[in-house]
């Protein structure tokens, strides 16, 4: 019988493996990004609402006014993150987009300094600098894949914008009144549907079985199931193990991109990806450079 940590490892590994398929389903949906996000939110909402009603989590006073307002703010950033991320697949490969997207923890630290006057020591500054070097290398290390004209840099910019919105949502969530994770996610996908409607999301309805399967997988599996697994794993895993297992996501995404679409990273992209992921790991796990810094740090964390 597995102990609590082993259960958490299984939950987190499953969640990150499922996350690796997000780009695949978004591409196979073959719909404009606004529509893909709308349908993802819709099916995610239905799945989460059903789960919460079945488990009795919706009752009188289940969400306060303050929690509702914060959830709307977090939901807005989540949806903008999805739109930018899905749109980036039109210009760069899923593998490249996902690697850039992994800069979220670095951006959370930067956001904590900018908006909450948090400080960080020399050690984290060095990891942040290494991530920046990797990002510049990735921009310059253009591969042979061009999916929609000559817009490689635009694709990277969209991926980075997606990571920025995700980081903003993380900072909002850290300042929210204590709210059950399922309630936050339910409100986020509800807000997502509302935001997408004015952009003509309903004018693009899935037509084929593959399109329907893709948006259902995004909503039910990659939103409701995946987020539930992540939230369940958080309480069972130490921070270092939770952070380490998050790297299953980009690994699965790159492998699927290669296996399904035959998109292979070139040598310089692989090196750049290594620097980015190393910097994120160093920031997450607080690995120490062989340097001494007397400057104290109070970071939001990753």
User: pLDDT digits over 182-199, tens only?
Assistant: 777 888 899 889 999 888
Residue 177 lies in a domain: yes
Q: What is the CA radius of gyration of the chain?
A: 19
Between CA 179 and CA 271 the distance in angstroms is 40
Q: What pLDDT score was predicted for residue 301?
A: 46
What are residue 119's DSSP bridge partners?
A: 298
Q: What pLDDT score was predicted for residue 31?
A: 93
**pLDDT of the chain along its 302 residues, tens only?**
778 888 888 998 999 999 999 999 999 999 999 999 999 999 999 999 998 888 887 766 667 788 788 888 888 998 999 999 999 999 988 988 999 998 888 888 788 777 777 777 777 788 888 888 988 888 777 655 444 455 888 999 999 999 999 888 888 877 776 767 777 788 889 988 999 988 888 889 999 999 999 999 999 999 989 988 887 787 788 767 777 788 889 989 999 999 998 888 888 888 988 998 888 888 777 788 766 555 555 555 44
Domain residue limits at 108 = 4-285
Exposure string (b/e) for 37-49, b if CB count within 10 Å is 16 or more?
bbbbbbbbbebbb
> Which residues, including other chains, have CB under 8 Å from residue 167's CB and lie 6 or more apart?
104, 105, 107, 108, 110, 111
Q: Please report where in the chains the tokens 């850290």 appear, as a residue.
A: 174
Between CA 183 and CA 68 the distance in angstroms is 9
Residue 293 lies in a domain: no
Residue 41 lies in a domain: yes
Residue 165 lies in a domain: yes
Residue 291 lies in a domain: no
Q: What pLDDT score was predicted for residue 283?
A: 78
Looking at the 3D structure of the chain, how many domains does it have?
1
Between CA 120 and CA 33 the distance in angstroms is 37
Q: What pLDDT score was predicted for residue 61?
A: 65
Residue 292 lies in a domain: no
Residue 270 lies in a domain: yes
Q: What pLDDT score was predicted for residue 29?
A: 95
Residue 301 lies in a domain: no
């Amino acid at each position: 019988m597995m102990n609590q940590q082993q259960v958490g490892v299984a939950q987190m590994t499953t969640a990150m493996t499922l996350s690796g398929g997000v780009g695949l389903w978004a591409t196979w949906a073959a719909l404009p990004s606004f529509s893909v996000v709308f349908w993802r939110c819709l099916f995610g909402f239905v799945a989460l609402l059903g789960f919460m009603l079945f488990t009795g989590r919706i009752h009188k006073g289940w969400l306060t006014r303050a929690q509702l307002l914060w959830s709307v703010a977090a939901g807005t950033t989540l949806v903008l993150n999805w739109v930018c991320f899905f749109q980036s697949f039109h210009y760069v490969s899923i593998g490249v987009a996902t690697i850039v997207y992994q800069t979220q923890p670095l951006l959370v630290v930067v956001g904590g300094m900018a908006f909450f006057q948090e400080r960080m020591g020399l050690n984290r500054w060095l990891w942040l600098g290494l991530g920046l070097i990797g990002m510049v290398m990735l921009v310059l290390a253009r591969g042979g894949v061009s999916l929609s004209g000559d817009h490689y840099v635009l694709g990277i910019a969209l991926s980075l914008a997606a990571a920025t919105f995700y980081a903003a949502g993380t900072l909002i969530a850290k300042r929210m009144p204590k709210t059950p994770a399922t309630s936050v996610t339910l409100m986020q996908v509800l807000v997502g549907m509302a935001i997408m409607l004015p952009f003509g999301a309903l004018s693009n309805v899935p037509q084929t079985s593959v399109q329907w399967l893709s948006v259902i997988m995004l909503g039910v599996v990659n939103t409701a199931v995946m987020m539930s697994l992540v939230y369940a794993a958080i309480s069972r895993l130490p921070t270092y193990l939770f952070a380490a297992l998050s790297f299953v996501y980009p690994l699965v995404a790159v492998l699927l991109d290669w296996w399904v679409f035959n998109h292979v990273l070139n040598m310089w992209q692989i090196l750049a990806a290594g620097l980015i992921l190393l910097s994120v790991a160093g920031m997450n796990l607080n690995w120490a450079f062989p340097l001494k810094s007397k400057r104290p740090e109070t970071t939001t964390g990753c």
